[in-house]
Chains A and B, each alone.
Chain A
Amino acid sequence: MLRYALRRLAISVLVLFGAATVVFFAMRAVSGDPATAVLGPDADQSAVEALRREYGLDASLPVQYVQFLRRAVTLDFGESFRLHDAATNLVLTHLSATAALALTAFAIALVLGFALGTLAATRPNGVVDRVVSVLSMLTQSLPTFWVGIMLILVFSRFLHLLPSSGAASPAAMVMPAVTLALPLLSVVLRLVRSGLLDVLHEDYVVTARAKGLSETRVVGWHAMRNMLIPVVTVAGLEFGSLLGGAVIVETVFAWPGVGRLMTDAIAARDYSVVQACVITVAVIFIVINLLVDLLYVRLDPRVRESV
C-alpha cells in the first residue's frame, strides 16, 4: 500500500512539472507582449522596457524558466502585471468563490443524481424513468452558457426570484451552481440507473430478497455498494471538468472566481496569474485523482488485495 501511494505521488510530481512547463512555454509562444498589453499602445518605450525589466521578462527564456520553477516551488508565482498583487494571493482569494460554487454543484449533482437514478432504476421504463432519461439527455447536451442565460431569463427577469449575477447573497449561488451541476448530474444519474439495473439481477440481490430483507435495504445497501465503484471514478474525474465548466458559468453569472480570473489574465497576457491558476487547478486535479484511487482501493476489495 505504501509503495503504491509513493509511486502515485512520484507520478503526480511529474505531472505537475509537465503542467508547469507547458503553461510557461505556451503563454510565451502566443504573440502579444505583456508589458504592451498592460501599458497600451501609447506608453513610452522606456516605460515598456522598465516594466519588462521589473518583471524579469528581459532575461532569456531558459533563465526565466529556471527562475519560474525555482520560485514556483516556494509557491511564489510573482506579481500580477495587471492587478498589482501577488498572483498566489489572487488565486487563493478567487479560489474560495470557485470552490464554493464547484462543491455546491458537485453536491447537487451527486445527491440528485443518486436520488433520481435510484428512482428510475427501481421502476425501469416507468413514467419516472422516461421523464428522467429525457431530462438527463437534455441537460447533458445543452450548452452551459445557454442554460445559464435561460435560467437568468426565467428566474430573474420574469419571476424575480433570484439575483441575476454577482456573489452578494446566498441566493446568488443557486443559479450558477445548478447550471454547473446539470451536465454532471445527468452523468451520475445514468451511471446510477444502469449500475443498479445491472446488479439488481445479480444472484446476491435475489438472495438478499429471499432472506426477506426490506427493499430499501436491498437497494440501498447490497446493490448500491456494488455500483458505487464506477460512479466514484467518474464523479471524481468529472469534478475536474466542473472546474473547467466554472470558467463559463463564472462569466455568465459574473461570479468572482478563479475561472474568470484566468480568462481575464490570459487576455491580458498576465503570465504570473495564468501560471498560478493553471498550476493550482493541476494540483486540485491531481489530489482528486489520488483521492479517487485511494477510495477505489477502499471500495473494491479486489483492488485492495492486489495493492
Chain B
Amino acid sequence: MRSPTIRLGALALAGVLGLTACSFGSDDPAGDGGGVTTLRVANPTPVVSLNPFAANSADQPTLTVVQEVFETLVVRQDGKIAPKLAESWTNPDPLTWQFVLRSGVTFADGTPMTSADVKASLRALIDGKGPLAGLWATVDDIRTPDERTLTIHTTSQLGTVLSNLTLLWIAPAAKLGDNAFFDAPYGTGPFKVSSFTAGQSVNLVRNDKYRGDPPKLTSISYRYIPEVSGRVTALANNEIDVTWGLPPDQLTGLRDNKDLTVRSFPTYANYYIWFNSSRKPFTDARVRQAMWHAVDFAKISKSLFDQAGTPATGPLPEAVFGAAGQNPYRYDPARARQLLTEAGYPDGFSTTMMWSSGCCTNGNSFADAMISDWAKVGIVVKPQELERATWLDKLLKLDWDSTMTTGSTVTGDADFTLARLYLSTAKRNGYANPELDRILLAARAELDQDKRATLYAQAGKIVWDQAVGIFPLDLNGNVVLRGNVEGFTPTPNDLPDFAGVSLR
C-alpha cells in the first residue's frame, strides 16, 4: 500500500520542480560564459532615477551611475580643481566666469558637444529645483558667444562656481526636455545606459564614440540588493564583483577572505549630533559643550567603528576643501558637570535625541553608548528612532531637541555644508550667529580660493567651539571587490567609479 502513495509523491515533486523551472524566464545580464568583461555591481541603495538635473541631483546612487555616462566641465582631483570638458577659464570681471570648452568632444550619438549643451544643462539644473539648484541661486545670465565659449554671469560674486561645476553633468541640449531620455541617457562619458529599471537595476555599455582611451569593461550591470547579508553572500559566491557601504562588523570577516579585497578610504562624509540651539536648554552654548565633554568618544569609536571612521578634527571631514583642524574637546565629565552648573543645570536635565532608522553606521549602538555616558553626568536622553520621512518632517520643522545623523559634503567644498546648514537663514538647527553669517557669505563671494579656505577655517572654529553640534567622527568609505577586479581607485566623494576598472 505504500508504493502508490510514494509514486504519487514523486510525481508531485517532479511537477513542482517542472513548474519552478518554467515559471520564470531566464535573463541573466551578467552571463557566466564567454568573455567576462561585464562588471557586476550590487549597490546598497536603489537607483530610482538617472536624471541628475532634478530631485535626485545630489542622490548618491544616481550620481554613482551618471558619472560613468556624463562628464563635467571640471573635476576635483586630489583636492584640486582640474579641467575636463572645459579647457580653461577666466574671470573677465568678478561677476563673470568665462570657460573655453575642449574641442572635438561628441556625445554618444555622434553629435558634437557645444556651449549650447552646457548652457542648457545648467538651465536644466537650475529649473529642476533639486537640492543643487540653490548653489546657482545668484546666476542671472548664461551666454554662448561661440560654440566653444560659455560665460556665466552672477548678481553677486560666487567663489564656488568651480566646485559647483563638478556636479553639473553635460547632456545634449536637444534631449534635456525629454523625460524619456533619462530612461536610457547618454552623454560624453565612457559608458551609456542600455537599460534601466527604476529601483532595481541599471545596465551600462561602452560608448564607442568616447574620445579617450576606451574602457576595458564592455559593460557594467548594477543591481540593488537591499540586505547586507545578501550582498556579502553574493560577493563571496562570485555572483557579483563589487559592492560597498558595508557595516564595520561585516568587513572584519571579509578582510580574511583571500578572494576579496577590502578598500577603506577617507570620504567627504561625517557623523554629527546636532542640538536645537533655539530650544532650551540648548540655547546655552555651555550646555552643548557639556554634552560633548561628557562622552568618551575615543573609547566608543574604537569599539564601534574600527576602521570605519577616524576621530574628527573639525566640523568638516578633512578631505573637504576648507576643512581645518580645531581644538579637540577632551573627555572630561567633571568639566561637563561644571559647565552644566554654570548654565543653571547642576542636576542635569531630561531631553531627547532622534535619528532616522538606518541613517548611520552602527547608529543604534552609537546612540546607546552616548546616552549611557550622558546619564553619568545627570543628562537623561530619551532615544527616538524614527522612520526617515517622519524624522525629516520633524527635522525641518525644528521640532526636536537633538538629532544624530551623517552627512556628506557632496561637492567637496566647505560652502556646501557650512553655508547650506549653518547660515541663520537656513533654519536647520536653530543656531543664529551674525558673525558666522558674515564669514560664510564673505567666503562664498571670495574668488581667491586660498582666502576662501582661511575664511572657512574661521567659520569652522565658530561651529566647533560653540558646539552647534558634536562632530565625533569622519567616516571612511569601503568598497569590497573580488580579487580579479583591477584598477579601482577610491574617491572621497564615495561614488565608486568603475570606468578605469578591468577584470583579470
Contacts from A to B (Cβ < 8 Å) = 30-34, 36-44, 46-47, 50-51, 82-85, 100, 103-104, 107-108, 111-112, 114-116, 118-119, 122, 149, 152-153, 156-157, 160, 163-170, 172-174, 177, 214-216, 219-220, 251-254, 256, 260-261, 264, 267-269
Contact = CB atoms under 8 A, between A and B. Distances in A.
A41, A42, A168, A269 pick with most chain B CB within 10 angstroms: A42
B23 A173 contact: yes
Given A31-B390, A50-B129, A107 B16 contact: yes
Contact of A164 (B199, B239, B428): B239
A47 B133 contact: yes
B234 A37 contact: no
B26 A170 contact: yes
Interface string B480-494: 000000000000000
B198 A37 contact: no
Q: Is the interface of A mostly helix, strand, loop or mixed?
A: helix
Interface string B205-235: 0000000000000000001111101100110
A12 B20 CA distance: 32
A83 B55 CA distance: 11
A267 B389 contact: yes
Interface in B1-47: 1-2, 4-6, 8-9, 12-13, 15-16, 19-24, 26-30, 46
A152 B230 contact: yes
Nearest to B129: A47
A82 B199 CA distance: 9
Given A40-B131, A119-B5, A163-B239, A269 B389 contact: yes
A46 B129 CA distance: 8
A220 B1 CA distance: 12
A42 B5 contact: no
A272 B237 CA distance: 38
Given A36-B396, A43-B131, A220-B8, A174 B55 contact: no
Contacts of B12: 111-112, 114-115
Contacts of A114: 12
Contact of A107 (B19, B59, B233): B19
Contact of B131 (A39, A51, A118): A39
A165 B49 contact: no
B227 A252 contact: yes
A115 B227 contact: no
A169 to B, nearest CB: 5
Contacts of A44: 129, 133-134
Contact of B389 (A31, A51, A100, A164): A31
B58 interface: yes
A286 to B, nearest CB: 24
Contacts of B143: none
B82 interface: no
Contacts of A30: 389-390
A219 to B, nearest CB: 8
B200 interface: yes
Interface size class of B (residues with CB under 8 A): 35 or more
A266 to B, nearest CB: 9
Considering residues A38, A40, A50, A51, which has the most beta carbons from chain B within 10 angstroms of its beta carbon?
Answer: A40
B9 A115 contact: yes
B365 to A, nearest CB: 21
Contacts of B439: none
A82 B129 contact: no
Contact of B8 (A82, A115, A170): A115
Given A103-B23, A116-B9, A165-B227, 11 more contacts: A36-B389, A83-B198, A112-B13, A112-B16, A165-B225, A168-B27, A177-B20, A214-B4, A216-B4, A220-B8, A264-B199
Contacts of B359: none
Contact of B230 (A41, A104, A252): A252
Nearest to A253: B230
B392 A36 contact: yes
B130 interface: yes
A152 B236 CA distance: 12
A40 B356 CA distance: 13
Contacts of A37: 388-389, 392
30 contacts: A30-B389, A30-B390, A31-B389, A32-B392, A33-B393, A37-B388, A39-B55, A40-B55, A40-B58, A41-B396, A42-B131, A43-B55, A43-B130, A50-B129, A84-B198, A111-B15, A115-B5, A115-B8, A118-B9, A119-B9, A122-B5, A164-B230, A164-B234, A166-B225, A166-B234, A167-B24, A168-B30, A216-B4, A251-B226, A254-B230
B420 interface: yes
B134 A42 contact: yes
A281 B153 CA distance: 54
Contacts of A220: 4, 8
A98 to B, nearest CB: 12
Given A111-B15, A169-B26, A215-B1, A41 B133 contact: no
A179 B19 CA distance: 16
Contacts of A260: 226
Most buried by B among A31, A108, A116, A214: A31
A31 B386 CA distance: 11
B447 to A, nearest CB: 25
4 smallest beta-carbon distances between A and B, as pairs = A32-B389, A47-B129, A115-B9, A42-B131
B353 interface: no
Contacts of B4: 214-216, 220
